[in-house]
Amino acid sequence: MPTSRREFIAGLGALALCPIERTEPDLILCNASVWTVNPRQPRAQAIAISNGRFYAIGTNEEVLALAAGSAKKIDLGGNTVLPGFIDAHSHPAEAGLDHLRMVDCDLRSIAEILAALRQQAARIPPGQWILGFKYDDTKTSDGRPLSLKDLDDALPDHPVFVEHRGGHTAWVNSLAIKLTKIDDNTPDPSGGKYDHDPATGHLTGRVRENAKEAFRQLIPTNFTRDDHREGVKLIAKMMSRTGITSVTDALGAPDDLRAYQDARESGDLSVRVYCSIFFSHIQQMLDGGVRTGLGDEWVRVGFMKMICDGSISERTARLSQPYIGRPNDFGILVATEDELFEHGRKAHAAGWQIGTHANGDVGIDTTLRVYERLQKELPRRDPRFRLEHCTVVNDSLVRRISALGAIPTPFSTYVYYHGEKMKEYGPERLDHMFALRCFIDAGIRPTQASDYPPGPFEPMMALQSEVTRTDSKGTVWGAKQKITLEEAIRVGTIHGAYASYEENVKGSIEPGKLADLVVLGRDPFKTDPTQLINIPIERTMVGGKWVWEG
Ligand SMILES: [Zn+2]
């Protein structure tokens, strides 16, 4: 028998062990195929956990030898274990409220969508709004979009407002139109459009951009503090089921920060949150002396968020060359370089990380100039500037991103899920979109990012999309940017941790880090890459506790 536990442990050789003084683990997972994402010990069979953190990682023999009488042992039957996934750009608090109140229209036929809306109508008194979201006209089997008649026939007694997945268009019924007092002769609002049937001139029920406002104004938005907390609880559960253990709220406000903290205190927060603060709220935070990093491993204040240009899925990102088929359309810039610099300067000087929405090459160039100026005028060590989305790049942008040490958060599931919308960018540009290959080769650390609701958040879909660059119908988009499965897993774990300054506490399975992991039902390394999306998530652990067991 060794004379002390320390000597005994030293004798185990390859076993990686937490340096924290601690007598025994409380949980041991054994007989697993562990991909640790720790380059010093890439593979293991067993994991010991103590007080919510990884305690030891090694072979079954090594780790089981640490078990004292009270340690619980779980045999994982050879299943694959990965670090928990980190969704580095998403909108959980807002999506949670949507899920609480709206009908999820991510369904594959108009009949199914109408049935779901009718089900909601059965619970709500006539005259009150029925709201839908995540409807996508390209995803139903009917080969045509929703119509006014569909909605009128199915829901004659309730005003209806169904939003497109991208959030820029909506479908309404006749009762909703009547309430807004809009008719066939109402002129379009500036920056918006009421669609008309070209044959009859009648409204079709589809309304675009600012034309949604007339409806939005009539829809009650009286959320209580409890609603916000309930929303967070709901979305956190949904994410846990897919293997996500940490998420970044990419457009947070003080209300959201409070909701995450409320959910955490009531025991309902099953994912860790890095909550950005939109620039319009930043003064409040600066006045309170708050900056990036305040909080703990559950809820932490994130970066200050700004927006530079338009969207990819709705084709408004600002590009140097026009969209295919629209020779005069270069997309839109929503802020000037000077505006971004002025807002950025205040936050940068106060120690905030900055993240700016920049999709098109012109948007990215503008944002990089702002960051380069900030570092020149107010040099800060390790600012980790973020480029939210950073979709359309070129070699010179990649070099500048690398030189600045900036972090891109490209859409992870868009190639797979939104493939049919990609043709307006053209094949040449697609070879430089969601450019994970270029980023990784240049030493940049891109993250996994869903942007949910616009993009699905399932990490298995992200892996498949990034590895195959193939959409759900089998079309390949931008094959040059394919990465390996091992790289995609790093993108979805340790890179996400780096993006929130937390690479020393999470993102890999190593002693001392938070015990966040996912157990998969099949080995992704032995699965056809086009089937990764079908791998079941058996269990998800956060801080040593199972938050999902399938
Ligand atoms: Zn976003």
Rounded CA separation 261/224 (Å): 15
Per residue in 206-215, is it b (16+ CB within 10 Å) or e — as a string? bbbbebbebb
* Per-residue confidence band for 337, with pLDDT thresholds at 50, 70 and 90: very high
To 5 degrees, how large is the angle CA 474–CA 537–CA 264?
Answer: 120
- Residue pair 369/385 in contact by the 8 Å Cβ criterion: no
How far does residue 168's CA lie from ligand 1's centre (Å)? 13
The phi, psi pair for 332, rounded to 5°, reads -130, 145
Alpha carbon of 279 to ligand 1 centroid (Å): 14
Distance 389 CA to ligand 1 centre (A): 8
What's the pLDDT tens digit per position in 23-42?
689 999 999 999 999 999 99
Separation of CA 57 and ligand 1 centre (Å): 36
Ligand 1 centroid to residue 240 C-alpha, Å: 20
Cα 101 to middle of ligand 1, angstroms:
20
Contact 392, 343 (CB under 8 A): no
Rounded to whole angstroms, how far apart are CA atoms 409 and 402?
Answer: 14
Torsion over CA of 495, 499, 501 and 502, rounded to 10 degrees? -40
Q: How confident is the model at residue 315 (pLDDT cuts 50, 70, 90)?
A: confident
pLDDT of amino acid 422: 84
Distance 470 CA to ligand 1 centre (A): 23
Residue type, 480: K
Q: How far is the centre of ligand 1, averaged over its atoms, from the C-alpha of 290 (Å)?
A: 23
pLDDT given at position 8: 41
What's the Cα-to-Cα distance from 219 to each of 126, 213, 215, 271, rounded to whole Å?
Answer: 14, 10, 7, 30
Please tell me the chain's helix, strand, coil percentages from 3-state DSSP, rounded to the nearest 5.
35, 25, 45
Residue 144: both structure tokens together = 């045509």
| DSSP state, residue 283 | H
Q: How far is the CA of 143 from the centre of ligand 1 (A)?
A: 29
* More confident site: 360 or 209: 360
- Compute the distance from residue 334 Cα to the ligand 1 centre, in Å: 15
Average model confidence (pLDDT) for the chain? 94
- For residue 312, give the nearest of 468, 455, 473, 137 by alpha carbon: 455
Say which amino acid occupies 483: I
129 alpha carbon – ligand 1 mean position (Å): 26
CA of 451 to the centre of ligand 1 (A): 5
- Report the distance separating Cα 214 and Cα 217, nearest Å: 6
**Cα 318 to ligand 1 centre (Å):** 16
Is-contact 80 38, C-beta < 8 A? Answer: no
497 vs 486: CA distance, rounded Å:
16
Q: Which tens digit of pLDDT belongs to each residue from 221-276?
A: 889 999 999 999 999 999 999 999 999 999 999 999 999 999 999 999 999 999 99
Side-chain-side CA neighbours of 153 within 13 Å: the count stands at: 9
The letter for the amino acid at 464 is: Q
Tell me what pLDDT residue 299 has: 98
Ligand 1 geometric centre to CA of 321 (Å): 24
Show Cβ contacts of residue 548 under 8 Å, excluding neighbours closer than 6 positions. 237, 240, 241, 270, 537, 539, 540
The confidence score (pLDDT) of residue 23 equals: 67
CA of 89 to the centre of ligand 1 (A): 6
Ligand 1 center to residue 179 CA distance, Å? 31
Using the mean position of ligand 1's atoms as its centre, give its distance from the Cα of residue 154 in Å. Answer: 33
**Interval 432-491: pLDDT, tens:** 999 999 999 999 999 999 999 999 999 999 999 999 999 999 999 999 999 999 999 999
Secondary structure (3-state) at 80: strand
Q: Which residue has the tokens 């409807």?
A: 135
Question: 336 with 368: CB under 8 angstroms?
Answer: no
Which residues, including other chains, have CB under 8 Å from residue 53's CB and lie 6 or more apart? 18, 20, 511, 512, 513, 514, 515, 543, 544
Q: Which band of pLDDT confidence, cut at 50, 70 and 90, is reported for residue 210?
A: confident
Q: 0.85 cut: is pTM over it?
A: yes
Q: State in Å: Cα 369 to ligand 1 middle.
A: 21
Q: Is 55 helix (H, G, I), strand (E, B) or coil?
A: strand
Closest CA to 51 of 72, 26, 74, 68: 26
- What is the full DSSP assignment across 186-213? PPPPTTEEEEE-TTT--EEEEEEEGGGH
Distance 14 CA to ligand 1 centre (A): 43
- Condensed to tens digits (0 to 9), the pLDDT of residues 151-198 reads 999 999 999 999 998 777 899 999 999 999 999 999 998 888 899 999
Smallest Cα–Cα separation from 490: which of 468, 509, 512? Answer: 509
178-186 contacts at long range (C-beta below 8 A, 24 or more positions apart): 179/218, 180/214, 180/215, 180/218, 182/214
pLDDT band at 426 (very low <50, low <70, confident <90, very high): confident
Using alpha carbons, select from 356, 316, 308 the residue that is nearest to residue 169. Answer: 316
Q: Could you give the CA distance from residue 99 to residue 79 in angstroms, rounded to a whole number?
A: 32
Cα–Cα distance measured from residue 31 to residue 79, given in angstroms and rounded to the nearest whole number: 8
C-alpha of residue 381 to centroid of ligand 1, in Å: 27
Among 351, 355, 390, 393, CA closest to 371: 355
The residues placing their C-beta within 5 Å of ligand 1, an ion, are: 250, 451
Distance between CA atoms of 306 and 309, rounded to whole angstroms? 10
Does residue 355 carry a pLDDT above 60?
yes
DSSP string, 212-227: GHHHHTTS-----HHH
